[in-house]
Amino acid sequence: MRLMPWVDDVLCDRMPSWQAVGASPTEVLELCAALEISELVHHRVTRGRTTSDWPTEVGRELDRRTRSSMARELVRAREIAQVLEALAARDVFPIILKGAALAHTTYDSPAMRPHLDTDLLIARDHMGIVRDTLAGLGYAEPPMTEGELVFCQFQMTKVDGFGIHHVFDVHWKISMHTLFADLLTYAEMQANAVAIPALGPQARTTSGAHALLLACVHPVMHHGNTHRLIWFFDIDVLVRRLSADDLHSFARLAVTKRVAGICARQLSLAGERFSTPIPSDVLQILTSSRSEPAAVYLRPRRRWHHELFWNVRNLQGWDDRVRLLREVLFPNARYMLDAYHLDSRGVALLPVLYVHRCARGAWKILVGRK
C-alpha cells in the first residue's frame, strides 16, 4: 500500500516532513480514518517538531476528529461506570477486556484507542443477572444465535440522548473456539485484576501479562490472523508499558497455556512494524515450546469449516460434539425468524428455513466464500 511507510514512521514517532509523506491531504485523512489512527496521528503531529510544513487542513481535521472522540469517550466512560455500579449492586463484578480497557490503561488518552463496544467477562451463573440489569438500564438484546458451545456471549445495546451507541458484549468464556475457550477464565483474571479509576470504583481489567496474552491471541483465534494495524499497535504499547518481570510472566504463561507459538509470531510482527523492544530471553522462552494444538490457527487460508472441525475435534465427549453441531446447524427459532425477516407467524416455515440455511452455507463453503 503506497501510503503505509509514512504511517509506520508516524506511529514509531519518527515524524516525516510533508514532502516525505508524498500524498495529498485527502489521501492522508482517508487512510487515517480507514486504519482508525486519526487520533494517534494527531497526537504525534501535535508534539512533533518537524511537522510545521504539514497542511493546516490536515491538522484541523485531525484535531476535529480527536475532539469528537474525546467527547464520545467521556460519555461512554460515564455510561460504563453506571452499568458497573448497577451490576455491583447485585454482586456482579465483570472484568473489562480488550479495546475499552486498553484505551483507559495503556494509551496516553482514551481517544487514541478507538473501540465500538465494551467487552465484559463474567461468571457463567451471572448471565441472567447481567441481562436483567442491562435491560433495566434501557438496553435491548439484538437477535443472535444462542448456544452454550457455539457463541459463549450475548450483546446488549442502546442509543442515548446524544445519539451515541453503547454496546456491551458480555462473555462467560473468552472464545467460542474450544481450543481457546478456557485459555483464561474469569476466576484467573479476577485473582489478578487491576483497577481502572477512570471508569469508576467498580471498574477492573486484566493484569498486564493477561492483557498482552489476549492481545496476541485475539486476532488469531477470532479474526483469521487479520493484520489490523491497531491490534499490533496494542501489542507494541503493552510491551513498552510492562516491566521485565511482567514480560517474563507473560512468556511463561503463554508456554503453560500452550499458545507460545502464536504469541511469538504476533510479537515478531509487531517488532517488524514498530521496532517493539522485545527482550531476547522472552522470545527464547516463547520459541522453546513445541507441538502446540493451537498452532493450527496460524495456517494460511484457513476457513470456517476448518475451524468447525477443530472445534468439534477438541471437545471432550460425543455429547458435546453433537450438541455443538446442533447449535451451529439449527440455531433457535427466534434467530431464524429474524434472519429471514419473519414474525411469529412464520414458525410453520422453520423446517424449510433450516434446509435453506444449511444449503446456502454448504454452497458458500464449496465456492470459497465461507
Half-sphere exposure of 204 (CA within 13 A, CB side): 20
The grid coordinates of residue 324 equal: 455443538
338, containing H or E segment: helix 333-339
Give the per-residue pLDDT at 1: 40
Q: Encode the chain (370 residues) as per-residue pLDDT tens digits.
A: 445 788 888 888 888 888 888 889 999 999 999 999 999 999 888 876 555 688 999 999 999 999 999 999 999 999 999 999 999 999 999 999 999 999 999 999 999 999 989 999 999 999 999 999 999 999 999 876 666 666 788 999 999 999 999 999 999 998 888 888 889 999 999 999 999 999 999 999 999 999 999 999 999 887 676 778 999 999 999 999 999 999 999 999 999 999 999 999 999 999 998 999 999 999 999 998 778 888 888 888 788 777 777 777 887 888 878 887 888 888 888 888 888 888 888 888 888 888 898 888 888 878 777 7
**HSE-CB for 254 with a 13 A CA cutoff:** 33
Q: Which has the closest alpha carbon to 212: 241, 238, 184?
A: 238
Q: Name the DSSP class of 125.
A: G
Residue 336 has φ and ψ, to the nearest 5°, of -60, -45
Residue 310: partners with Cβ closer than 8 Å, 6 or more residues away: 177, 178, 179, 296, 297
Spatial contact of 282 and 248, defined as CB atoms under 8 Å apart: yes
pTM of the full structure: 0.87
Contacts of 235 (CB under 8 A, 6+ apart): 212, 215, 216, 266, 267, 270, 276
Torsion of CA 67, 71, 73, 78, to 10 degrees: 160
- Residues 164, 75 contacting (CB under 8 angstroms): yes
Closest of 327, 357, 325 to residue 339, by C-alpha? 357
C-alpha dist (Å) from residue 105 to 3, 112, 116, 194, 263: 30, 12, 17, 10, 21
> Do 267 and 278 meet the contact criterion of CB atoms below 8 Å apart?
yes
Residues 145/332, Cβ–Cβ less than 8 Å? yes
Please state the φ and ψ torsions of residue 140, each to the nearest 5 degrees. Answer: -125, 155
- The CATH code for residues 72-206 is 3.30.460
Read off the C-alpha cell for 299.
495456517
